[in-house]
Amino acid sequence: MKGLFKNNFCAVWLNAKIFLIFLFVMGIAAAVISTQTLQMYFIIVGIVGFSINAAAAIGNEFSSKWGKYKLTLPVKRTDIIKSLYLNQFLWMIVGVFFVGIVTVLSYILHGLRIEQITDIFGLFALGISISLLMGAIFIPLIYLAGEDKIIAFLIISLLFAVGIASVLFNIIDIVPSLGTIIMIACSLLLFILSYPLAICIFKKKEY
Protein backbone atom coordinates (compact mmCIF):
# COMPACT_ATOMS: atom_id res chain seq x y z
CA MET A 1 0.00 0.00 0.00
CA LYS A 2 2.81 2.40 0.85
CA GLY A 3 4.51 1.59 -2.44
CA LEU A 4 1.32 2.33 -4.38
CA PHE A 5 0.84 5.61 -2.58
CA LYS A 6 4.47 6.60 -3.13
CA ASN A 7 4.20 5.77 -6.83
CA ASN A 8 1.09 7.94 -7.20
CA PHE A 9 2.79 10.78 -5.36
CA CYS A 10 5.89 10.62 -7.57
CA ALA A 11 3.73 10.47 -10.69
CA VAL A 12 2.16 13.81 -9.77
CA TRP A 13 5.23 15.48 -8.30
CA LEU A 14 6.81 16.73 -11.54
CA ASN A 15 3.64 18.50 -12.69
CA ALA A 16 3.03 19.69 -9.15
CA LYS A 17 6.44 21.41 -9.03
CA ILE A 18 5.64 23.34 -12.22
CA PHE A 19 2.22 24.28 -10.86
CA LEU A 20 3.82 25.34 -7.56
CA ILE A 21 6.02 27.86 -9.38
CA PHE A 22 2.99 29.33 -11.14
CA LEU A 23 0.99 29.36 -7.90
CA PHE A 24 3.87 30.94 -5.99
CA VAL A 25 3.98 33.88 -8.43
CA MET A 26 0.21 34.20 -8.36
CA GLY A 27 0.28 33.99 -4.55
CA ILE A 28 2.79 36.84 -4.26
CA ALA A 29 0.58 38.98 -6.48
CA ALA A 30 -2.52 38.05 -4.45
CA ALA A 31 -0.78 38.85 -1.15
CA VAL A 32 0.74 42.16 -2.29
CA ILE A 33 -2.06 43.57 -4.43
CA SER A 34 -4.84 42.14 -2.27
CA THR A 35 -7.75 42.64 -4.64
CA GLN A 36 -10.84 40.58 -3.91
CA THR A 37 -11.08 39.22 -7.46
CA LEU A 38 -7.44 38.09 -7.54
CA GLN A 39 -7.74 36.45 -4.12
CA MET A 40 -10.89 34.65 -5.24
CA TYR A 41 -9.22 33.19 -8.33
CA PHE A 42 -6.08 32.31 -6.37
CA ILE A 43 -8.02 30.31 -3.77
CA ILE A 44 -10.06 28.36 -6.30
CA VAL A 45 -7.20 27.79 -8.77
CA GLY A 46 -4.81 26.79 -5.98
CA ILE A 47 -7.03 24.16 -4.37
CA VAL A 48 -8.59 22.74 -7.53
CA GLY A 49 -5.32 22.86 -9.51
CA PHE A 50 -3.54 20.45 -7.18
CA SER A 51 -6.50 18.08 -7.38
CA ILE A 52 -6.36 18.11 -11.18
CA ASN A 53 -2.66 17.23 -10.94
CA ALA A 54 -3.56 14.30 -8.69
CA ALA A 55 -6.13 13.03 -11.19
CA ALA A 56 -3.43 13.18 -13.86
CA ALA A 57 -1.63 10.39 -11.96
CA ILE A 58 -4.18 7.94 -13.31
CA GLY A 59 -3.44 9.13 -16.84
CA ASN A 60 0.26 8.61 -16.28
CA GLU A 61 -0.41 5.05 -15.15
CA PHE A 62 -2.31 4.17 -18.29
CA SER A 63 0.08 5.87 -20.70
CA SER A 64 3.08 4.11 -19.13
CA LYS A 65 1.22 0.77 -18.79
CA TRP A 66 2.07 0.85 -15.07
CA GLY A 67 -1.61 0.38 -14.27
CA LYS A 68 -1.58 -3.03 -15.96
CA TYR A 69 1.77 -3.98 -14.45
CA LYS A 70 0.48 -3.35 -10.93
CA LEU A 71 -2.06 -6.12 -11.40
CA THR A 72 0.80 -8.61 -11.66
CA LEU A 73 2.14 -7.52 -8.25
CA PRO A 74 1.00 -8.96 -4.91
CA VAL A 75 -1.41 -6.08 -4.26
CA LYS A 76 -5.17 -6.04 -4.02
CA ARG A 77 -7.32 -4.09 -6.45
CA THR A 78 -8.96 -2.42 -3.48
CA ASP A 79 -5.54 -1.10 -2.40
CA ILE A 80 -4.90 0.27 -5.89
CA ILE A 81 -8.14 2.24 -5.79
CA LYS A 82 -7.58 3.28 -2.19
CA SER A 83 -4.16 4.70 -3.06
CA LEU A 84 -5.71 6.82 -5.82
CA TYR A 85 -8.35 8.24 -3.48
CA LEU A 86 -5.78 8.94 -0.77
CA ASN A 87 -3.53 10.62 -3.32
CA GLN A 88 -6.43 12.78 -4.51
CA PHE A 89 -7.27 13.78 -0.95
CA LEU A 90 -3.65 14.50 -0.02
CA TRP A 91 -3.06 16.89 -2.91
CA MET A 92 -6.27 18.71 -2.09
CA ILE A 93 -4.93 19.21 1.45
CA VAL A 94 -1.64 20.48 -0.02
CA GLY A 95 -3.60 23.02 -2.04
CA VAL A 96 -5.62 24.14 0.98
CA PHE A 97 -2.44 24.47 3.07
CA PHE A 98 -0.54 26.46 0.44
CA VAL A 99 -3.46 28.77 -0.32
CA GLY A 100 -4.13 29.18 3.41
CA ILE A 101 -0.58 30.41 4.05
CA VAL A 102 -0.85 33.08 1.36
CA THR A 103 -4.30 34.13 2.60
CA VAL A 104 -2.98 34.55 6.14
CA LEU A 105 -0.04 36.55 4.78
CA SER A 106 -2.44 38.81 2.92
CA TYR A 107 -4.41 39.27 6.14
CA ILE A 108 -1.25 40.27 8.01
CA LEU A 109 -0.29 42.79 5.32
CA HIS A 110 -3.66 44.35 4.65
CA GLY A 111 -6.15 43.14 7.23
CA LEU A 112 -9.60 41.79 6.46
CA ARG A 113 -13.10 42.80 7.43
CA ILE A 114 -15.42 40.26 9.02
CA GLU A 115 -17.50 39.95 5.85
CA GLN A 116 -14.34 39.31 3.83
CA ILE A 117 -13.34 36.51 6.19
CA THR A 118 -16.79 34.93 5.70
CA ASP A 119 -16.39 35.16 1.92
CA ILE A 120 -12.93 33.57 2.10
CA PHE A 121 -14.22 30.61 4.11
CA GLY A 122 -16.95 30.22 1.50
CA LEU A 123 -14.36 30.19 -1.30
CA PHE A 124 -12.26 27.59 0.54
CA ALA A 125 -15.37 25.45 0.93
CA LEU A 126 -16.14 25.86 -2.77
CA GLY A 127 -12.61 24.87 -3.80
CA ILE A 128 -12.63 21.83 -1.51
CA SER A 129 -16.04 20.77 -2.78
CA ILE A 130 -15.03 21.03 -6.44
CA SER A 131 -11.89 18.98 -5.74
CA LEU A 132 -13.76 16.24 -3.90
CA LEU A 133 -16.57 16.06 -6.44
CA MET A 134 -14.18 15.97 -9.37
CA GLY A 135 -12.35 12.99 -7.85
CA ALA A 136 -15.65 11.29 -6.99
CA ILE A 137 -16.77 11.51 -10.61
CA PHE A 138 -13.48 11.03 -12.47
CA ILE A 139 -12.03 7.93 -10.80
CA PRO A 140 -15.04 5.60 -11.30
CA LEU A 141 -15.70 7.08 -14.75
CA ILE A 142 -12.21 6.45 -16.08
CA TYR A 143 -12.32 2.80 -15.03
CA LEU A 144 -15.85 2.38 -16.40
CA ALA A 145 -15.48 3.98 -19.82
CA GLY A 146 -11.82 3.49 -20.68
CA GLU A 147 -8.44 5.08 -20.30
CA ASP A 148 -8.21 6.38 -23.86
CA LYS A 149 -10.53 9.27 -23.00
CA ILE A 150 -8.69 10.61 -19.96
CA ILE A 151 -8.55 14.29 -20.95
CA ALA A 152 -12.20 14.36 -22.01
CA PHE A 153 -13.33 12.66 -18.80
CA LEU A 154 -11.20 14.97 -16.69
CA ILE A 155 -12.85 18.02 -18.28
CA ILE A 156 -16.32 16.49 -17.96
CA SER A 157 -15.70 15.60 -14.31
CA LEU A 158 -14.46 19.11 -13.58
CA LEU A 159 -17.46 20.73 -15.25
CA PHE A 160 -19.90 18.49 -13.40
CA ALA A 161 -18.07 19.17 -10.13
CA VAL A 162 -18.24 22.93 -10.68
CA GLY A 163 -21.95 22.66 -11.46
CA ILE A 164 -22.79 20.59 -8.38
CA ALA A 165 -20.58 22.69 -6.10
CA SER A 166 -22.20 25.88 -7.44
CA VAL A 167 -25.61 24.55 -6.48
CA LEU A 168 -24.34 23.69 -3.01
CA PHE A 169 -22.64 27.09 -2.80
CA ASN A 170 -26.04 28.79 -3.08
CA ILE A 171 -27.01 27.16 0.22
CA ILE A 172 -24.54 29.48 1.93
CA ASP A 173 -26.78 32.43 1.07
CA ILE A 174 -29.78 30.64 2.57
CA VAL A 175 -28.14 29.42 5.77
CA PRO A 176 -24.81 31.29 6.13
CA SER A 177 -23.87 29.65 9.43
CA LEU A 178 -24.25 26.12 8.11
CA GLY A 179 -23.72 26.60 4.38
CA THR A 180 -20.00 25.84 4.26
CA ILE A 181 -20.39 22.80 6.51
CA ILE A 182 -23.25 21.44 4.39
CA MET A 183 -21.29 21.99 1.18
CA ILE A 184 -18.14 20.22 2.37
CA ALA A 185 -20.13 17.44 4.09
CA CYS A 186 -22.15 16.67 0.94
CA SER A 187 -19.05 16.70 -1.27
CA LEU A 188 -17.11 14.50 1.15
CA LEU A 189 -20.03 12.07 1.35
CA LEU A 190 -20.15 11.72 -2.44
CA PHE A 191 -16.36 11.28 -2.50
CA ILE A 192 -16.59 8.47 0.05
CA LEU A 193 -19.56 6.80 -1.68
CA SER A 194 -17.75 6.80 -5.02
CA TYR A 195 -14.94 4.71 -3.49
CA PRO A 196 -16.85 1.37 -3.30
CA LEU A 197 -18.31 2.15 -6.73
CA ALA A 198 -14.82 2.50 -8.22
CA ILE A 199 -13.74 -0.75 -6.54
CA CYS A 200 -16.77 -2.58 -7.93
CA ILE A 201 -16.02 -1.32 -11.46
CA PHE A 202 -12.31 -2.06 -11.22
CA LYS A 203 -12.84 -5.63 -9.97
CA LYS A 204 -14.88 -6.36 -13.08
CA LYS A 205 -12.26 -4.77 -15.34
CA GLU A 206 -10.27 -7.21 -17.45
CA TYR A 207 -6.91 -6.44 -19.09
Domain ranges of the chain: 2-203
- Model pLDDT for residues 68-116, shown as the tens digit of each residue: 555 555 567 777 788 889 888 988 999 999 888 888 877 777 665 544 6
| Distance between CA atoms of residues 64 and 173, nearest Å | 46
Q: Which of 146, 12, 187, 29 is nearest to 83 (CA)?
A: 12
Q: Could you tell me if 125 and 175 are in contact, meaning their C-beta atoms sit under 8 angstroms apart?
A: no
**What's the CA gap between 17 and 175, in Å, rounded?**
38
Listed range (62-71, 105-114, 133-142, 188-197) with the worst mean pLDDT? 62-71
CB atoms within 10 A of CB 69: 11
pTM (2 d.p.): 0.84
Positive/negative CA dihedral, 138, 152, 55, 58? positive
